[in-house]
A and B are shown apart, each in its own frame.
Chain A
Amino acid sequence: MNDQRRSGERDPLRAETDRTNRQWLVAGRHGSRWTGFSVRGSFGRRPILWIVACVLALAVGGWLLLRTGGPAVDETWLEMQERGSWRVGMDPSFPPFETLDAEGAPIGYDVDLAREIAATWGLEAEIVAIGYDSLLDALLVDRVDAVISAFPYNARMTKDVHYSPPYFEAGVRLVVGADAAFEEIGDLDGGTVAVEWGSRGDAIARRLQREGAGFTRLPFESSEKAIEALVSGASSALLIDGVTLRLAQGEGKGIRAVGAVLDEDPYVIAVSIKAPKLQSALLQALATLEEEGRLGLLEERWFGQYARRE
């Protein structure tokens, strides 16, 4: 009776809400035993229940995160420490990145890079010679701990392989004389662009022409002749890959790349996706080598110094 009177005294909207709540609870009891359980009420009465639930949720969430984040222990890294060496796969057939000396020992930019990185971890680099097309397979079956072999990034493999940041960009660049005023393709209207006939640079030059670029394409049978055309002034610019460009610069050619890379082809270091400690250590080692200028020194050792401007 008292309840009825009290409710009659309250405003109609709140009374309607109360009625709805009651209907819901009644319906819940008839429908499902779980909906009849008042969660808010239970937690309100027992704060300790909240704490237990939160701890449980955190524990389950943490476990799930750790579970999906990879194995807690990096077996590759542990084995490297036990062995005292970092096994690096490479195909020693691509100088100056990797080749064999007269005694058959591996030498080159990638070999020295592997040794420098291993040294930052207090390890030795153990070079394992493997055919280029089998390098990733060797990594996937743990025959090597990493691949450093002028190896291109492959987005399709990122489910199985972790790639380091690029340490060399081999993509096609627009190249001009060291003192030329050209800075981009648009500056070459009416000029000429030398290419190695049939190369990727040639395909890009043809594409740029189809897109309206106003230069004349000058094809040469080799990249050396195309570079010579630029150096001699027979051509205003040149489209070549990063490796050929760097080699020419190392030979003292006064040429420079301008604008963005036209066809990216970054060389990266591949390690197993199941080696998180090795991945982070590699990232740190590369950053250290970069900061200390040792990457640049390595490049100069194998490609030569840039030509000094008069």
Chain B
Amino acid sequence: MIGRFASFLRRNPDSINRIPRLALWSPRARKLIGALLLCSVVGLTYRSYFRNWVPFGPQRTVATVNLKMGVHTRLTDEPDAAKIKRSLEMVREMGAPWIVEYFPWAYYEPRRGQYEWSHPDLVIDHASRQGLTVIARLGYVPEWARPEDSHHLYLAEEDYEAFGRYAVEFVRRYRDRVGYLIIWNEPNLSLEWGFRPVDPASYVRMLKVVYPMVKEAAPEVQVLAGALAPTLDPPGSEWSVNDLDYLQQMYDAGAADYFDILAIHAYGLGFDADEPAGETVVNFRRSELLREIMVRNGDGDKTAMITEGGWNDHPRWTRAVRPAQRIVNSVRAYEIARTEWPWLESVCLWVFRFPWDQKSYQDYFTFVGTDFEPKAIYLEMQEYAAGRFKAP
């Protein structure tokens, strides 16, 4: 374009004299051009700032017969504001007042002391507008807070305070909308502990650093600990420590004063929701054994929350159930929490939706597809929350 214009000027050297000079334009024209330029700048700025923005809509509330119903959303890797909003709308429409969401430290403090809150702002603001109660799970170590080439879940004890500072900044920003924090995830698995030997005492030292920092910044925020993976690995396993043993070792290390609520992971695997608990079986009622350990250690006044759990209906995963069993068990899990477990505040089943298909058994934990098409289980949970559920 510029080349053609230059060529035109070369061929018509006199034409440049025909372009009117700015000084000759009338004051009115100059004002008009100025206004147009200003509008362009404002418009471009607005578009840039709000390019990933959708209206929040009116304040909503969740209608449900069971106030303990919840799901673990997975919006961490969902950048699209419209999809974030749609996910949370659908959670509300399903009738679940609780969500657990992951807020990775590495994403939101990519450089020490530099915070990037735009994505959590979107998630938390939309969740609040949908009337959902957010339980925030914190973890995932930024590169600057761990040794070079270490795993993203590796956090040395000398850096617990840096993690605590992130938690403090988080609650300072969101304390009016987020009342629950989960400190770390499944620390009884080596892979969740930076591929180091599992160390309950070290996890408790993390709680001893982070808990007082959070409480000083926002005393009303409830700190959840544990979130242990249910596992039956034998003592001495390099991969994990049995969750029941791990919880007892947490108490032995003095954890009781450094958390408010126990986070529980309650997967049913191939068992019905009513399958009795047993130390040698992983099922939904294993939560009762964790509760017994709490009571035995004088922590019976505290409550618990199931922050992950549920059933999978993958056609070939060996720990999956048939789709019909998944529906019945999920309804039963919500009912057990409502009618039998007064010590349990919420049940958040894994996982509401993934931003993209995992092409693995994980896709069969979801309630809606990546395209938001509701699965049958979503519609049945909706019926349950409305008091209309009836198995065929």
> Which residues of chain A have a CB within 8 Å of any CB of chain B?
20, 23-24, 27, 91, 93-94, 132-133, 150, 152, 154, 156-157, 196-200, 202-203, 206-207, 219-222, 241, 243
From A94, A150, A154, A220, contact of B357 by CB (8 A) = A154
Pairwise interchain contact B392-A203, C-beta atoms closer than 8 A: no
From A23, A196, A206, contact of B323 by CB (8 A) = A196
Pairwise interchain contact B323-A202, C-beta atoms closer than 8 A: yes
Pairwise interchain contact A206-B324, C-beta atoms closer than 8 A: no
Chain B residues whose CB sits within 8 angstroms of the CB of A150 once the complex forms: 316
Is B322 interfacial (CB-CB < 8 Å)?
yes
From A20, A152, A196, contact of B11 by CB (8 A) = A20
Binds A, one of B214-222, B239-247, B374-382: B374-382
Contact indicator per residue, chain B 313-339, by CB within 8 Å of chain A (1) or not (0): 101111000111011000000000000
Q: A243's closest neighbor in chain B, by CB?
A: B315
Chain B residues whose CB sits within 8 angstroms of the CB of A203 once the complex forms: 373-376
Chain A residues whose CB sits within 8 angstroms of the CB of B377 once the complex forms: 198
From known contacts A197-B323, A206-B379, A222-B324, infer whether A156 and B392 are also in contact, taking CB-CB under 8 Å.
no
Is B53 interfacial (CB-CB < 8 Å)?
no
Chain B 357-378 interface residues, beta-carbon cutoff 8 Å to A: 357, 359-361, 373-377
19 contacts between A and B (CB under 8 A): A20-B10, A23-B13, A24-B10, A91-B316, A132-B316, A152-B359, A196-B324, A197-B376, A197-B391, A198-B313, A198-B326, A198-B327, A199-B323, A202-B376, A203-B374, A221-B324, A221-B392, A222-B324, A243-B315
Pairwise interchain contact A207-B373, C-beta atoms closer than 8 A: yes
A91 and B318 alpha carbons, distance in the complex (Å): 11
Least CB distance from A239 to B in Å reads 11
Q: B318's closest neighbor in chain A, by CB?
A: A93
How many pairs, one residue from A and one from B, have CB atoms within 8 Å of each other in the complex? 66
From known contacts A132-B316, A198-B377, infer whether A156 and B324 are also in contact, taking CB-CB under 8 Å.
no
Is B389 interfacial (CB-CB < 8 Å)?
no
Pairwise interchain contact B327-A197, C-beta atoms closer than 8 A: yes
Pairwise interchain contact A220-B318, C-beta atoms closer than 8 A: no
Please give the number of chain B residues whose Cβ is less than 8 angstroms from any Cβ of chain A in the complex.
27
Pairwise interchain contact B361-A154, C-beta atoms closer than 8 A: no
Chain A residues whose CB sits within 8 angstroms of the CB of B343 once the complex forms: none
Chain B residues whose CB sits within 8 angstroms of the CB of A27 once the complex forms: 10
From B11, B13, B323, contact of A198 by CB (8 A) = B323
From known contacts A27-B10, A132-B360, infer whether A199 and B376 are also in contact, taking CB-CB under 8 Å.
yes
Most buried by B among A198, A200, A203, A207: A198
Least CB distance from B302 to A in Å reads 36
Is B356 interfacial (CB-CB < 8 Å)?
yes
A27 and B7 alpha carbons, distance in the complex (Å): 12
Pairwise interchain contact B376-A156, C-beta atoms closer than 8 A: no
Q: A207's closest neighbor in chain B, by CB?
A: B373
Chain B 284-300 interface residues, beta-carbon cutoff 8 Å to A: none
Contact indicator per residue, chain B 1-15, by CB within 8 Å of chain A (1) or not (0): 000000000110100
A154 and B370 alpha carbons, distance in the complex (Å): 14
Q: 8 tightest A-B contacts by CB?
A: A198-B323, A202-B376, A154-B359, A219-B392, A197-B324, A198-B376, A94-B316, A221-B324
Pairwise interchain contact B380-A198, C-beta atoms closer than 8 A: yes
Chain B residues whose CB sits within 8 angstroms of the CB of A152 once the complex forms: 359
A91 and B314 alpha carbons, distance in the complex (Å): 14
A157 and B392 alpha carbons, distance in the complex (Å): 39
A255 and B316 alpha carbons, distance in the complex (Å): 24
Chain A residues whose CB sits within 8 angstroms of the CB of B391 once the complex forms: 197
A288 and B223 alpha carbons, distance in the complex (Å): 63
Chain B residues whose CB sits within 8 angstroms of the CB of A219 once the complex forms: 392
Chain A residues whose CB sits within 8 angstroms of the CB of B11 once the complex forms: 20
Chain A residues whose CB sits within 8 angstroms of the CB of B10 once the complex forms: 20, 23-24, 27
A91 and B327 alpha carbons, distance in the complex (Å): 27
Q: B368's closest neighbor in chain A, by CB?
A: A203
A23 and B13 alpha carbons, distance in the complex (Å): 10
Other A-B pairs beyond A154-B359, A197-B392, 16, CB < 8 Å: A132-B316, A132-B360, A156-B357, A157-B359, A196-B322, A196-B324, A197-B323, A197-B324, A197-B376, A198-B375, A203-B373, A206-B376, A207-B373, A219-B392, A221-B392, A222-B322
From B361, B374, B380, contact of A132 by CB (8 A) = B361
Least CB distance from A281 to B in Å reads 25
Chain B residues whose CB sits within 8 angstroms of the CB of A132 once the complex forms: 316-317, 360-361
Least CB distance from B33 to A in Å reads 32
